[in-house]
Structure 1
Amino acid sequence: MSKRTFFTPADKRFSRKWWLDNFRAMFWVVLVTILIWVYADIEFTEERTLRATIELTVGNSEKLVLIDESGSTTQKIEKEVSFELKGSAAELDKYRRELTKMGMKLSYDLSESHGTGNHTITLDDILNSSDRLTKAGIVVQLAEPASIEVTIDEIVEKSLPVKFQYHGATVEKHVIDTEYAKARATRSDWQRIEDQLGAQDMVIHTKQVDLSNHPSGEVITAELLKSIAGAEDIPILLEPASVKVTVDIAKRFKEINLKVTVRVMTPYIWTQGDTKQFYTLKTKDSLVWVKEITVTGPTTEIEALKAQDIDAYIVLSDKDLTQGEIFDRPVQIRFPSGSNVKLKSETPTISFTLEKVPAPG
Structure 2
Amino acid sequence: MSEESPTPSIKPPPKTSALGDAVRAYLWNLRRWSARTFTGENLVSSMKTFAWVAPLTILIWVYAEREQVVQRETTIPIAVKSTDPNRIVSLRPGDESIVAFIGGPRLAVDRVIELVTNPGKGPIVQIEIDGRGYESGKWVPVDTERYVGENPIFRNRGVAITSCKPRTLQILVDELVERDVEVRVPTDVTNLAGSPVFEPSTVRVRGPKTKLEDPRQPLVITADLANREEIQLPGPHQLPAVSVRANISDPSITLSPSTVKATLDVSQKEERYLIASMPIWQSTPTGFLEKYRIECPPSISNITVIGPHDQIELLRKGEVRPKAQLEVTAEDEGKQRTARELKFDLPDRVKVVAEDKEKTKVLFQLVKPE
Q: TM-score w.r.t. structure 1 length?
A: 0.40
TM-score (norm 2): 0.39
